[in-house]
Amino acid sequence: MIASILSILSLQETSPIPKEGAPYWILWFFLCIIILLITFIFLRDKSLRQRVNLFLSKAKRRLVKTHLQTKIRKENRKKDELIMELGIKTWKEGIRNEKSEKIDKKLETLDESRNKSQKELEEIHSKIKKLDNQLTESDEKNDDLIEKQEGDKKPFQEKLDETKEKERLIELHLIQKQKEIEGEEKDLSAAEKEVKDLELSSNLSEEEKKSKINEVKEKIKKLETSREKIQKELEELRKEKPELEKEIKNLQRKVNDYERTIKKIKKEKKEKRGIILKEIKELRKDDSTVQKKIKETEKQKEPLFEDLGKVIDEFRVESKELTPLYSQIDKINRRVQDIEKQIQNI
């Protein structure tokens, strides 16, 4: 039969293929024939069927065994969790057994350590809260003082700004008046020169000369009057300026006093904040250290709870609180035993 198949395959390989290519269905036709031949051989050859069945049977048993072992591991993990829960429940409910005295003593020591750490933690939190309140009170107090100083300074600052503006305007007026005087003096010099020129002039008659000289002299009188008026205003402004300078100096001193006080309060506020925040920072470090200590204590208790649970499970201390846990553990034990029997029977 195998020889026949090989001959068919050899014929297929040696047969010439048209340039156009064979129809696609021929490939599937030959593939189906090969599958039918292999199936026919398998059905006739009993030893081959047995070897295949044996191989498949072993693979199936290994697969089933692996699956059952996985189930056992899952059940054991559940049992470990229940044993841990049993130990924790036993300890919290105050249930004791003479077989677990050593474990109980270790747990008592760890509980004492934890309680001590918890008390220390509460004290740290209390100190931090107190410092937070101190910080808030200090900031509010200093802010109130700063606000008061700013309020007291405000009218002096406004008066100072007003006086400085007044001084600035006087400076402008002084410059303006000085320029006006200089202009009047130039006009006077020109008028006096004009009088002299008229007196020396030979082109005018005596009457014309006299008339023009009188006109110019009248102009000179007006210019002198105007100059005297401006000079008087200039003197008054010059007298007013020292008073303003004195007032500015006094106002500036008061404003500076307030600003120094405000600066001092701000500095004290900053220093106080720095001291309190530094204390809080140190306390937070202590808080973190104690928290880690508590976590470490709880971690140390876990294997002890597990050991306690095993002891209690072994001796089955009577307790209504523990009965539900006993029941769950027993169910898991039965399931594990059933699975182990199934593994043995494979």
Say whether both 60 and 123 belong to one domain.
no
Do residues 272 and 199 share a domain?
yes
Write the CATH number for 150: 1.10.287.1490
List, for residues 262-295, the tens digit of each pLDDT value.
999 999 999 999 999 999 999 999 999 999 999 9
Nearest Cα residue to 103 out of 91, 92, 116: 91
**Does 35 share its domain with 146?**
no
Say yes or no: 33 and 144 in one domain. no
| Cα 314 from chain centre | 52
For 195, 301, 326, the CA distances from 228, given in Å and listed in that order, are 21, 108, 123
158 and 292 together in one domain: yes
Structurally, the chain folds into a number of domains equal to: 2
Q: Is residue 326 part of a domain?
A: no
> Is 38 found in the same domain as 142?
no
Query: Tell me: the pLDDT tens digits for 135-153?
Result: 999 999 999 999 999 999 9
**Cβ neighbours for 204, distance < 8 A, ≥ 6 positions apart:** 198, 212
- Residue 263 and residue 199 share a domain: yes
Residue 242 and residue 125 share a domain: yes
Is the residue at 121 inside a domain?
yes
12, 15, 20, 25 alpha-carbon torsion, rounded to 10°: -20
198 and 265 in a single domain? The answer is yes
Q: Containing domain of residue 12, as a range?
A: 2-64
Residues 155 and 270 in one domain: yes
Lowest-confidence segment of 247-256, 300-309, 335-344 by average pLDDT: 335-344
Domain co-membership, 142 together with 10: no
Please return the burial class of 270, using the count of CB atoms within 10 Å of its CB with bins 0-12, 13-18 and 19+. exposed
Q: Is residue 211 part of a domain?
A: yes
